[in-house]
Amino acid sequence: MVKRLKHDKYVEHLCDKIRPAYDQLLTNVPLYSKKGKRRIAEIDILAIRDDEFDVYEVKCSYRVTKAKKQLHRIRRIMPDINSMFFFCGESSLLENVM
């Protein structure tokens, strides 16, 4: 049996909370460079509703600066993202950041 990390538990918890609002949820989505050789970022949760995409960055503790940096990197790669959110697992705080 594989032990789940605390981060993975928080991702699952958030998925359970937001699932009714979306058509589909994808977790741990890797993003690669244009040539596809280098992994640039990973989306914790990519939420899809109709033709809109929302991204959720999950942190175990309140590290909003690091989350914003990662979300900014994702925005550069995927400019068509509708909304971007930060979720702090420790406090269950959900913030719209971009």
Instruction: Please name the residues in contact with 97: beta carbons below 8 A apart, sequence gap of 6 or more.
Output: 64, 67, 68, 71, 84, 85, 86
Assigned token pair, 2? 């594989």
Fold for domain 6-96? Trna Endonuclease; Chain: A, domain 1 (3.40.1350)
Tell me: pLDDT of 35 over 80: no
Rounded to whole angstroms, how far apart are CA atoms 84 and 62? 16
Q: What percent of the chain has pLDDT over 70?
A: 97
**pTM for the full model?**
0.91
In sequence order, the β-bridge partners of residue 53 are: 48
**Amino acid 40: pLDDT:** 86
Rounded to whole angstroms, how far apart are CA atoms 49 and 38? 29
